[in-house]
Amino acid sequence: MRQVVDTSPSDDPEKDLLVYKVIAGKDRRSSAVVSRSEFARWAANEVVRDEENWKRVPVDE
């Protein structure tokens, strides 16, 4: 699970960057910089913490 910690917006898609950290799962406690479009391709669902568990945020239909 990744958490965005900083952004560097740009009109140029190659320079529109996000800094994220891994907060759960594989590579926990690591961080990286990716383009906003790369992050969007990776992201499947928004989640929220519910005490000790993570739950998907329902998508409005």
Q: What is the pLDDT of residue 10?
A: 95
Residue 21 near residue 2 (C-beta atoms within 8 A): yes
Compute the residue count for the chain: 61
Q: What average pLDDT does the segment 32-50 reach? A: 91
Host H or E run for residue 3: strand 2-8
Show the DSSP H helices in the chain as ranges: 36-42
Q: What average pLDDT does the segment 5-13 reach? A: 95
The mean pLDDT of the chain is: 91
Q: Say how far apart CA 33 and CA 18 lie, in whole Å.
A: 6
Residue 39 near residue 18 (C-beta atoms within 8 A): yes
